[in-house]
């Protein structure tokens, strides 16, 4: 009962606070939006001791050679980065897509054109890097819509806001377990749209253990399975926030997947890890990436 009441109160707060914050941010210029976001991210990092501890533990697992003080600085930069993501997205939710497209430089689009020229479905594989929600914005403007695979968020109010933002960007979501998912997948397999999948989180889906920062991490296999089963052309994609606040949408050359699902998943995960190492503050270190451990290792 208490948990149900807490959830309703949280949902009510989301429905009230996010639109108000979005309206307030809509009136600000970009530098001010970024400043508000950085401040908000740092404040939440300071107030939430559990998340702060979790980030510190995960960064230590990934970078054991990094001095403790540098790990703390990385965690603060990460918190500020995600605060900017939130402020930026809420600003765009009120002001519209035309505010962001000029601020995203697309590199490597020739790899997408080459992939489509093969006449096979195209699968874009990525992780929660940069402001990953903005990845979808570049596709409709280039005449190639995409679907993203996701799940129903725990809080209905938050799910409504996120879906509204994704619709603004021109992205369509294939919700796992939804009956309408087959329709979106058919469009992808016919070559009418691309499919974007993020595979860098430990979620309740089928997966395998593959190396991630030198440790076994339970990783979804859906991307490798779809790619191999339907002979899809697999293109890695990452969004990077630049120091001046603009973004780069970076498409890499297509990846040839080995026939083994575990090996294919490991190859894709290695690409994501290599990218995270370039801009570690732009990944989600608060996520419990190693929350499950292989049976031979015992509990985490």
Residue 58: both structure tokens together: 């995960």
Contact present, 239 and 148 (Cβ < 8 Å): no
Residues sharing a CB contact under 8 Å with residue 277, sequence separation 6 or more, in sequence order: none
DSSP state of 297: G
pTM score: 0.91
User: Which sign does the torsion angle of CA 195, 200, 202, 207 carry?
Assistant: positive
Report how far Cα 19 is from the mean position of its chain's Cα atoms: 22
d(CA 256, CA 234) in angstroms, rounded, equals 7
Q: Residue ranges per domain, the chain?
A: 2-297
* Neighbour count for residue 255 (Cβ, 10 Å): 16
Straight-line distance from the first to the last Cα atom of the chain, in angstroms, rounded to the nearest whole number: 30
Contact present, 78 and 55 (Cβ < 8 Å): yes
Report CA-CA distances (Å) from 105 to 28, 161, 203, 282: 23, 26, 31, 17
* Neighbour count for residue 36 (Cβ, 10 Å): 21
251 strand-pairing partners = 237
Residues sharing a CB contact under 8 Å with residue 222, sequence separation 6 or more, in sequence order: 149, 197, 199, 205, 206
* Neighbour count for residue 242 (Cβ, 10 Å): 12
CA-closest candidate to residue 251, choices 92, 174, 164, 142: 142
DSSP state of 146: E
pLDDT tens per residue, the chain (300 residues)? 555 655 555 655 667 788 889 899 999 999 999 999 999 999 999 999 999 999 999 999 999 999 999 999 999 999 999 999 999 999 998 888 888 889 999 999 999 999 999 999 999 999 999 999 999 889 988 989 898 887 766 666 676 777 888 888 877 887 766 656 677 788 888 888 999 999 999 988 899 999 999 999 999 999 999 999 999 999 999 999 999 999 999 999 999 999 999 999 999 999 999 999 999 999 999 999 999 888 766 555
- Exposure of 240 in the CB half-sphere (CA atoms within 13 A): 18
DSSP state of 255: B
DSSP state of 154: S
What pLDDT score was predicted for residue 160?
78
d(CA 117, CA 109) in angstroms, rounded, equals 13
């Amino acid at each position: 009962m208490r948990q149900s009441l807490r959830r309703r109160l949280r949902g009510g707060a989301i429905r009230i606070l996010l639109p108000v914050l979005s309206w307030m941010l809509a009136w600000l210029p970009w530098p001010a939006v970024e400043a508000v976001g950085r401040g908000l991210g740092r404040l939440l990092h300071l107030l939430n001791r559990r998340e702060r501890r979790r980030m510190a533990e995960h960064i230590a697992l990934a970078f054991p050679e990094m001095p403790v003080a540098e790990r703390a600085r990385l965690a603060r930069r990460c918190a500020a980065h995600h605060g900017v993501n939130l402020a930026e997205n809420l600003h765009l939710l009120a002001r519209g897509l035309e505010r962001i497209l000029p601020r995203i430089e697309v590199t490597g689009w020739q790899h997408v054109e080459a992939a489509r020229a093969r006449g096979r479905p195209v699968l874009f594989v990525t992780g929660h890097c940069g402001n990953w929600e903005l990845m979808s914005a570049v596709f409709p403007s280039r005449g190639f819509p995409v679907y993203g695979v996701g799940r129903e968020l725990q809080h209905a109010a938050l799910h409504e806001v996120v879906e509204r933002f994704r619709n603004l960007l021109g992205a369509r979501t294939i919700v796992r377990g939804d009956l309408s998912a087959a329709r979106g997948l058919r469009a992808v397999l016919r070559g009418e749209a691309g499919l974007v999948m993020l595979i860098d989180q430990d979620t309740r889906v089928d997966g395998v253990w593959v190396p991630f920062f030198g440790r076994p991490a339970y990783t979804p296999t859906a991307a490798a399975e779809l790619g191999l089963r339907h002979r899809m052309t697999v293109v890695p994609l990452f969004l990077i926030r630049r120091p001046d606040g603009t973004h780069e949408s970076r498409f890499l050359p297509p990846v040839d997947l080995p026939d083994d699902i575990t090996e294919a998943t490991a190859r894709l995960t290695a690409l994501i890890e290599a990218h995270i190492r370039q801009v570690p503050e732009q990944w989600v270190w608060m996520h419990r990436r190693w929350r499950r451990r292989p049976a031979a290792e015992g509990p985490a």
